[in-house]
Amino acid sequence: MSFKVEKLDKCTVIRVMTPKLNSLISPELKGLFNQLSEEGAKNIVLDLSNAKYCDSSGLSAILIGNRLCSGSNGSFVICGLNDVIKNLIQLSRLDNIIEITPTAEEAHDMILLNEIESEFNQDDKN
| pLDDT tens digits along 26-62 | 999 999 999 999 999 999 999 999 999 999 999 999 9
Where are the chain's structural domains?
3-125
The structure's pTM equals 0.93
Q: Count CB neighbours of 26 within 10 A.
A: 22
> Which are the contacts of 108, defined by CB distance < 8 A and separation ≥ 6?
8, 11, 13, 45
Environment class of residue 2 by beta-carbon count within 10 Å: exposed (0-12), middle (13-18) or buried (19+)? middle
The 8-class DSSP code of residue 95 comes to: G
Is the C-alpha dihedral spanning 90, 96, 98, 100 positive or negative? positive
Mean pLDDT of 89-106: 95
The CATH class of 3-125 is alpha beta
- Report pLDDT for 125: 67
- Report pLDDT for 20: 96
| pLDDT tens digits along 107-122 | 999 999 988 888 877 7
Average pLDDT, the chain: 94
Question: Rounded to an integer, what distance in angstroms lies between the CA atom of residue 116 and that of residue 79?
Answer: 21
- Residue 74 Rama label (left phi>0; alpha psi -120 to 50; beta): beta
Question: Rounded to an integer, what distance in angstroms lies between the CA atom of residue 48 and that of residue 118?
Answer: 27
> Would the pLDDT of 1 be above 70?
yes
